């Protein structure tokens, strides 16, 4: 466990001093992760936004707060979760990270996945989905489904979910509304880790 912590710290330091893509130019903070290194679930979002860049913590702005509220509501404990993003520095104007930027950042995320070795990886939104799974599947079709794929040395389980920024514009909680499905998917993941424990 100590070795894992130390290795993660080392990668974090490398990412802090990374100048491999344009995103380093405007960063206030590199945003590495939040949560528990022993977590069973790893959430992977798109990229840091303004609040994340300012604090160095992922999913801390409006969308992040909404995700965290839903996690609490569905009974996740702090130790269940580890959170990261496809890129670790904020893209200007919150645009989507380019393939080149994602490629430059890939080694850090891959190492995080390898070390955390979660039971399930939750792909939060279409950018994370496209980074790991077939680019032709839409988030609407893929969400809530479990995909198994070889990644970082073993077969891993991935589940895409809507991005919480989409939910900020969707207020209904009626059956089959985006918020309803988001909660349903978080419950699916929760059941999965319960079964695996
Ligand atoms: N959106 C993301 O995808 N990641 C963050 O860390 C914040 C907002």
- Nearest ligand 1 atom to the CA of 85 is 4
What is the distance in A from the centroid of ligand 1 to the CA of 47? 5
Pairing state between β 120-124 and 81-85: unpaired
Nearest to 161 by CA among 188, 182, 137, 146: 182
- Kindly report the pTM of this predicted structure: 0.97
Q: Which residues line ligand 1 (CB under 6 A)?
A: 45-49, 52, 58-59, 61, 63-64, 85
In the structure encoding, which two tokens stand for residue 28, read together? Answer: 């206030």
- Nearest ligand 1 atom to the CA of 125 is 3
- Integer-rounded Cα radius of gyration of the chain: 16
Return d(Cα 96, Cα 182) in angstroms, integer. 21
Burial of 197 (0-12, 13-18, 19+ CB in 10 A): exposed
- Nearest ligand 1 atom to the CA of 164 is 1
Helix axes 62-73, 178-196, angle to 10 degrees: 50
Q: What is the mean pLDDT of each run of 10 residues along the chain (197 residues)?
A: 93 98 98 98 98 98 98 96 98 97 98 98 98 92 97 97 98 97 98 79
Best residue among 34, 56, 59 to mutate for probing ligand 1, ranked by most atoms within 8 Å of CB: 59
The residue whose CA is least distant from atom 7 of ligand 1 is 59
Which pLDDT belongs to residue 194? 87
Which pLDDT belongs to residue 130? 97
Which pLDDT belongs to residue 66? 98
- Map out the domains of the chain with their CATH numbers: 2-196 (3.40.470.10)
What is the distance in A from the centroid of ligand 1 to the CA of 72? 18
- Nearest ligand 1 atom to the CA of 52 is 6
């Amino acid at each position: 466990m100590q070795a894992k912590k130390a290795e993660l710290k080392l990668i974090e330091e490398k990412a802090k001093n990374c100048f491999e893509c344009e995103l380093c130019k405007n960063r206030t903070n590199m945003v590495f992760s939040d949560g528990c290194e022993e977590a069973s679930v790893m959430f992977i979002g798109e990229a840091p936004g303004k609040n994340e860049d300012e604090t160095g913590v992922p999913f801390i702005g409006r969308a992040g707060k909404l995700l965290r509220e839903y996690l609490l509501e569905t009974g996740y404990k702090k130790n269940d979760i580890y959170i990261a993003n496809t890129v670790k520095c904020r893209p200007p104007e919150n645009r989507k990270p380019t393939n080149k930027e994602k490629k430059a950042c890939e080694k850090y995320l891959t190492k995080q996945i390898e070390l955390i070795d979660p039971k399930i990886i939750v792909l939060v939104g279409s950018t994370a989905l496209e980074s790991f799974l077939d680019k032709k599947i839409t988030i609407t079709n893929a969400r809530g489904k479990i995909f198994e794929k070889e990644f970082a040395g073993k077969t891993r389980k991935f589940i895409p979910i809507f991005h919480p920024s989409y939910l900020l514009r969707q207020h209904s909680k009626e059956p089959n509304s985006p918020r309803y499905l988001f909660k349903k998917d978080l419950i699916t993941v929760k059941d999965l880790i319960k079964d695996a424990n």
